[in-house]
Amino acid sequence: MALDKKSNYVNIHGHVHSPKRLKEYEGIITTSHHLCVCAETINYTPISIEELIQNAPTGHAIKKIEKHYKEKQGDEE
């Protein structure tokens, strides 16, 4: 899914690549609105959405979306 920097969504996707192929895509698979969770990048271990958010790079859109969601939940209580 193609997303631009103004999008309110994050594309969490996974693929299976050989280590060589993974290196080729290193700069492409994790951008401000995309996170690759292919088996090679998560140590072949399932992770929770909370872990994914926590481990996302600083400034990643998923952190901003989570913050906005939490603030909105607080407003509704």
Q: What are the structural domain ranges in the chain? A: 11-76
Positive or negative, the Cα torsion across 65, 60, 30, 42?
negative
Give the C-alpha separation, 38 to 8, whole Å: 23
Mean pLDDT of 24-35: 67
Question: Contact 56/35 with Cβ under 8 angstroms?
Answer: yes
Percent of the chain at pLDDT above 90?
1
Q: Is the pLDDT of residue 15 over 80?
A: no
Confidence of residue 19 (pLDDT cuts 50, 70, 90): low
Q: What is the pLDDT of residues 36-66, one digit of tens each?
A: 888 877 888 888 988 988 888 888 888 888 8
